[in-house]
Amino acid sequence: MTGTGDTTLRLLFPQWQGGNNPPYVFGAQLLSWLAPEATGPVEQVSVTPPDGTPLTAENGIVGRAALLAQLADARRLIDKHRPDRLVVLGGDCLVDLAPFAYLNERYDGDLAVLWVDTHPDVITPREYENAHAMVMGNLLGEGEADFVAAVKRPIKPQNVMFAGRQDTLEALPAVRAMETAFFQRLNLRSVGPADLAETSEPVLEWLKSIGARHLAIHFDLDILDPTLFRSLLFANPDPASPALDGIPRGRMTMDQIVRLFADASKAVDVVGLGITEHLPWDSLALRTMLAQLPLLGSPSR
């Protein structure tokens, strides 16, 4: 629904520190390569590359200094273009903080946000130290002060819908309790994957109820069922990978996502799209193998 003269900025943001997961760098790069060619300006946020040094928590947040520097660079690039629309290819979920904050300013607080994610990303450093799980809370004006400071105009709670979200499991009681209280206090709307399996009506009804005119969509790939799409954190084939007990897995399909986004774009002007948390395990393994083959890389023997 891009109008004549509109500017769409594509932002490549291979941030990995928010989830403390270096493979997000390659995931973002591959996502950018796979995406259709951009029709407007393209910028890449300067991200400190992983060098094998473990990240540590700084004032309760892992990789805090790098994340804040990258957040500032993302905003610098956005302000350079002052676009009408934004596409963000990440990287961990925190990459949508500066872009969505900008869009809410650009549209005078009249931005609706569809958060398509198995997890709500509203927790604080008290419950968890990885900032990729805090971004939606920051956009609502809550959470760690330095990250909230990047949001000059917080998103209105009634302008947020969580689509495909599932409750955190009882194995993580502190997180579950915090999220439940947060949703109740702000009266946030949420619809689960089963209610979106055959219809987009819950989202369309919400858009109509708030009179939405401009919509930004956060699309965390972990909303997809990991038995059908394997390039996700939860599909890590390494048997030694960290346990993720208590964290629900996605249950939606690509067809359902395409239908949901198409229906939403017919109802309201989509001005933002962020795609995050792409972890192409097979491609990463293949790249490692190719680097050890004769005539290609440095064989081990």
49-65: average pLDDT: 96
269 close to 83: Cβ distance less than 8 angstroms: no
At residue 300, the pLDDT reads: 57
- Which residues are paired to 273 by β-bridges? 87, 217
At residue 5, the pLDDT reads: 59
At residue 291, the pLDDT reads: 95
Q: Is the pLDDT of residue 2 over 80?
A: no
At residue 269, the pLDDT reads: 98
Total residue length of the chain: 301
Q: CA torsion sign, 251 to 21 to 182 to 153? A: negative
| CATH code for the part of the protein at 8-290 | 3.40.800.10
At residue 4, the pLDDT reads: 43
Q: Is the pLDDT of residue 301 over 60?
A: no
Model pLDDT for residues 239-287, shown as the tens digit of each residue = 888 777 778 899 999 999 999 999 999 999 999 999 999 999 999 999 9
268 close to 112: Cβ distance less than 8 angstroms: yes
> Shortest CA distance to 167 belongs to which of 156, 155, 181?
181
Q: Is the pLDDT of residue 3 over 80?
A: no
- What counts of helices (H) and strands (E) characterise the chain? 9, 10
Model pLDDT for residues 25-46, shown as the tens digit of each residue = 999 999 999 999 999 999 999 9
Q: Is the pLDDT of residue 1 over 60?
A: no
At residue 278, the pLDDT reads: 98
At residue 241, the pLDDT reads: 84
Model pLDDT for residues 87-132, shown as the tens digit of each residue = 999 999 999 999 999 999 999 999 999 999 999 999 999 999 999 9
**Which phi and psi (to 5°) does residue 186 adopt?**
-95, 0
Q: Is the pLDDT of residue 299 over 90?
A: no
Domain ranges of the chain: 8-290
188 close to 160: Cβ distance less than 8 angstroms: yes
The pLDDT confidence band at residue 181, using thresholds 50, 70 and 90, is: very high
231-246: average pLDDT: 86
Model pLDDT for residues 131-179, shown as the tens digit of each residue = 999 999 999 999 999 999 999 999 999 999 999 999 887 778 889 999 9
Q: Is the pLDDT of residue 198 over 90?
A: yes
pTM: 0.96
